[in-house]
Structure 1
Amino acid sequence: MNSFYINTNRIFNSIRKFAWLFILLVAFGGLWYPKLGLLMIPLMLALGVQGFFKGKYWCGNLCPHGSLFDQFIMPISRNKKIPSFLKSKVMIVLAFSWFMYMLTQRLIKVFALFGAAPFWDRLGFIFVMNYLMVTILGTIFALFVSSRTWCSFCPMGTFQVLSYKLGKLMGLNKKIDKKVTVCSIEKCHTCGKCARVCPMQLTPHLEFTENSQFENEMCIRCATCVENCPAGILILSNTEDGLKVVSEQDLTGYENRQSIKAQIVSVKELQDDINEYILAFKSPQKVDYQPGQFMLIKIQDKPLLFRAFTIASNNIDGKTVKIIIKREPGGYGSEIIFNRFKEGDMVELEGPMGNELIVDKTAQKVLFVANGIGITPFIPLTKDLLTTTNNIKEITLIYGVRYEDQFIYDNYFKELEAEHNKFRYIKVVSRPHNEAEHKKGYVTNIIREMDLIGYKVYICGTKAMTLDTLQLLRDKGVEEEDVFHEAV
């Protein structure tokens, strides 16, 4: 089984990138020039004030140790689950009490020298040694457990939380405190990506309040979950602005989301790493969905996780749905499905969801662009447009793969092209074994030569292909409102 937790970029600005240099200055430079440790006094005051208004924001955005752990230790960390005891209130209280006791004892001894020549050196050296010890212990925990293990019980983090509680009690941080906010809980995939990338190993997707905010005081406001949310529905916002964003959300395509119990009635291998699953609805027995939407499939209970898969079937009688799943190397969800989901198994679904690829049937021309497993939504969409009444006069599908044996549903599209004059099916291979039989290149090579006036464009595929295609369409003058996309 692949690791649940994901190492991903957390360096989003210059402060996070270079803050670790402060450790060299104080923890190591202070060994030769102890007065450098005095820099810790304004730093501790600053994080206390910051904590009053923004909670553990310092930990996620300004902390030198956080910069060190995220930038240099995380890539080589074992990245394991942080033991519950290290995150417990008992551990937090013990660590904070020990720190305050030791600091107080040392300060009492040093202040006995107040007025003497060595006083400032001795005072600075206390903070130098404390900072060096945190660096050593934090690095050990980061290497052998997870990069932010120390942050789970760091005394300075606890200091910020206590300051934050005071700010909340006084009601002075509501407008300044920006928390992780879900723009629309209806659009959440419950995929747990936010939990998998969270440095603190929290579970935002399971803890949003009625205000659509993540209120956990251990959150360090680092925005890693915001940057990695597949649905793109997480932001950092105060309560007032967050509620405004929530109220402005368009829920078209999500209004019929429901919990569904279904049974796997067929598993068909399309390729070594691609399976086709047909699911029969049991409760309710009929579900109304459209081509271009997707379903969520529950893959585990603790923590609760679903995976989103595009619907690959037309809704003939509402009793079944087809999905096609690619086994991704290192893919946590696809590994579970391929290894555990068998014919006859009962599964839990949520959906239908999505409107990104629901085609505007008033358009005159439609271009579908897909690569790899991104062809999935266009299997039902193409047939739907060719067999129902609409204004579309021309449909073009550009389908790209790496090698020619990676096309799926190839004969299906060939048959549709033979039966319908308004459908054109274009295949392109980036690394063909036989260049004489297949067009070599990428989907963008084909698009570059097309006249796209009057087209509505729908894209599904890898993130790289999607971004390249979007840029090309902008360069060709295609209006943004005529382009729709979904990355896989």
Structure 2
Amino acid sequence: MENYYIKTNRTFTNIRKYGWIFTVLVAIGGLWEPKLGLLVIFIMAGLTTTSFFTGRYWCGNFCPHGSLFDRITMPISLNKKIPQFLKSKFMVTGFFLFFMYNFSRKVINVSKFWGTYDFFDKLGFVFVTTYLMVLVTGGLFAILVNPRTWCQFCPMGTIQKLSHALGRAVGVANKAEKKVTIENLDKCHACGKCSRVCPFQLTPYLEFGENNQFNDINCIKCATCVENCPANILSLRTEDEAIELKEKVSTKGYENRQKIKAKISDIKDLGKDIKEYTFSFVSPKKVDYRAGQFILIKIQDKPKAFRAYSISSFNEDSTKLSVIIKKVEKGYGTNIIFNDFKIGDIVELEGPMGDELVIDDSAEKILFIGNGIGITPFIGLSKEALMKNPSIKDVKLLDGQRYEDEFLYKSYFESLDEKEKKFQYIPVVSRDKTSSIRKGYVTHVLEDMDLEGYKVYICGSKNMIVDSYNILLDRGVKKEDIFYESEERISIKN
């Protein structure tokens, strides 16, 4: 089984990338120039002040030690689950009292030298040795357990929580604090990725509360979950901003989301590491869905986690659906599905969800563009467009793969091409030099096509979607006529 927790970039600003230099400068350089330790006083003042308004925001965005753990130790960390004991109130409170006692004792001893030449050197050295202790102890925890292990019981973190509690008590933090916020709970894939990338191993997707905000006091607002959310529905917002978002966000395509008990009625091998799973509904016995939507498949209970897959089947009688899954190397979810799911198993589904690829009923000319496993939704969409849309005059499908043996449902699309005058199937291979199929990428075909009047639906790799989107705009296709979906986070700025 792959490690549940994922190593990912957490350093989105220069402060987070290079703040660790300050830690090394004080902890190591301070051994020769003790006055460097006095700089830590400004760090303590900064974290205490900011936490009054924003909670543990400092930990995730400005802390020099946090930068060290995320930037330097992350690549070599074992990245294991943080022991619950180190997060316990007993540990946090006990270590805070122990630390403050020893720190205060050292400062009091140094105060005897007030007014002497050595005072600032001796006071600075107290901070230097403290920083060195955190560098060594926290560094070992970071490598042998998890990068942010030390942060679970860090005394400065406790100070931030105390300051934040005061800020909330006087009503300041309630308005100023930005929390992880979800657009709408119905849009959550419940994939658990926000938890898997969280430095503190928190579980936002299971704990969103009032106004769709994550209220855990230990959240350091580092935005790692925001950057990694597959559904792109997380953000950092104040309470007022969250309320405004909640009121204006559209839930089109998610109105029929429901819990579904289903039985695996068929599993087909479609190629190397690619399988088609068919689920027959048990309860409820019928579920209405449209081609182009996706479904969630539960992969585990603790912690609860699902995986989202595009529906590949055409809805004939609402009693079953199919999805095509490609096994991902070191993929946590696909390994569970490929290894554990068997015909006859009862599984939990949620959905149907999404409207990005659902066909506009007014469309007369449609262009589908897919590559890799992204061709999956167009199996059902092609049939739906031809059978359920009487206004359709023309449907084209561009299917890009690397090699000829990677095409999915190629014979089905070719048969559809022969039977339906309105349908044209255009396969393209990018690397197969021996194939008789047209060489190149789907973007090459796009550049030569007449695109006037088409509504375009795209699914596949991030690069293909971005390149296709830009070509379509250059060729005169309107933004409102381009629809896309990808498993990767995409930000198109055009």
The answer to whether TM tops 0.5 is yes
Distance 1:21 1:412, change over 3 A: same
SS in 2 for 1:396: strand
1:479 equivalent to 2:487? Answer no
CA deviation digits over 1:295-316, x for unaligned, max 9? 1111001111011111111111
Distance 2:336 2:263 in 1: 17
Distance 1:244 1:178 in 2: 14
Quote the residue 2:126 is aligned against: 126
Aligned-residue sequence identity (percent) comes to 55
Distance 1:120 1:44 in 2: 17
Quote the residue 1:440 is aligned against: 439
Quote the residue 1:368 is aligned against: 368
CA deviation digits over 1:327-363, x for unaligned, max 9? 1111111100000000000000111111000011212
1:351 equivalent to 2:351? Answer yes
SS in 2 for 1:48: helix
Kindly provide the amino acid, as one letter, of the partner of residue 450 in structure 2. Answer: D
Quote the residue 1:43 is aligned against: 43
Distance 1:477 1:8, change over 3 A: farther
Distance 2:165 2:188 in 1: 29
The gaps in structure 1 that reach 5 residues or longer are none
Kindly provide the amino acid, as one letter, of the partner of residue 106 in structure 2. Answer: R
Distance 1:467 1:73 in 2: 34
SS in 1 for 2:174: coil
CA deviation digits over 1:442-486, x for unaligned, max 9? 111111222322111111112222222223223334221111111
Deviation larger for 88-97 or 393-402: 88-97
Quote the residue 2:378 is aligned against: 378
Kindly provide the amino acid, as one letter, of the partner of residue 285 in structure 2. Answer: Q
> What is the deviation of 1:93?
1.1
Quote the residue 1:57 is aligned against: 57
Quote the residue 1:450 is aligned against: 449
1:460 equivalent to 2:459? Answer yes
Deviation larger for 122-131 or 267-276: 267-276
> What is the deviation of 1:222?
0.4
The gaps in structure 2 that reach 5 residues or longer are 488-494
Distance 1:47 1:461 in 2: 44
1:425 equivalent to 2:425? Answer yes
Kindly provide the amino acid, as one letter, of the partner of residue 449 in structure 2. Answer: M
1:263 equivalent to 2:263? Answer yes
Distance 1:86 1:362, change over 3 A: same
Distance 2:271 2:343 in 1: 18
Distance 1:452 1:212 in 2: 41
Kindly provide the amino acid, as one letter, of the partner of residue 42 in structure 1. Answer: F
Deviation larger for 467-476 or 367-376: 467-476
Q: Residues 222-241 of structure 1 correspond to what in structure 2 (within 5 A)?
A: 222-241=222-241
Quote the residue 2:491 is aligned against: none
> What is the deviation of 1:146?
1.1
Distance 1:19 1:475 in 2: 42
1:211 equivalent to 2:211? Answer yes
Distance 1:73 1:243 in 2: 38
Quote the residue 2:292 is aligned against: 292
- Structure 1 outlier segments of 4+, above 6 Å: none
Kindly provide the amino acid, as one letter, of the partner of residue 206 in structure 1. Answer: L
> What is the deviation of 1:179?
0.2
Quote the residue 2:492 is aligned against: none
Quote the residue 1:252 is aligned against: 252
Kindly provide the amino acid, as one letter, of the partner of residue 127 in structure 1. Answer: F
Distance 1:357 1:296 in 2: 16
> What is the deviation of 1:95?
1.9
Kindly provide the amino acid, as one letter, of the partner of residue 448 in structure 2. Answer: E
Distance 2:75 2:259 in 1: 38
Distance 1:442 1:76 in 2: 38
Quote the residue 2:84 is aligned against: 84
SS in 2 for 1:82: coil
Kindly provide the amino acid, as one letter, of the partner of residue 458 in structure 1. Answer: Y
SS in 2 for 1:349: strand
Quote the residue 1:307 is aligned against: 307
Q: TM-score, with normalisation over the residues of structure 1?
A: 0.98
Quote the residue 1:342 is aligned against: 342
Distance 2:91 2:82 in 1: 13
Distance 1:70 1:471 in 2: 35
> What is the deviation of 1:364?
2.3
Kindly provide the amino acid, as one letter, of the partner of residue 105 in structure 1. Answer: R
Kindly provide the amino acid, as one letter, of the partner of residue 77 in structure 1. Answer: S
Kindly provide the amino acid, as one letter, of the partner of residue 25 in structure 1. Answer: L
Quote the residue 1:27 is aligned against: 27
SS in 2 for 1:21: helix
Contact 1:37 1:127 in 2 (8 A): yes
CA deviation digits over 1:165-211, x for unaligned, max 9? 11111111122100000111010000001001101111000000022
Distance 1:197 1:477 in 2: 40
Kindly provide the amino acid, as one letter, of the partner of residue 158 in structure 1. Answer: T
Distance 1:473 1:158 in 2: 53
Distance 1:95 1:393 in 2: 72
Contact 1:404 1:433 in 2 (8 A): no
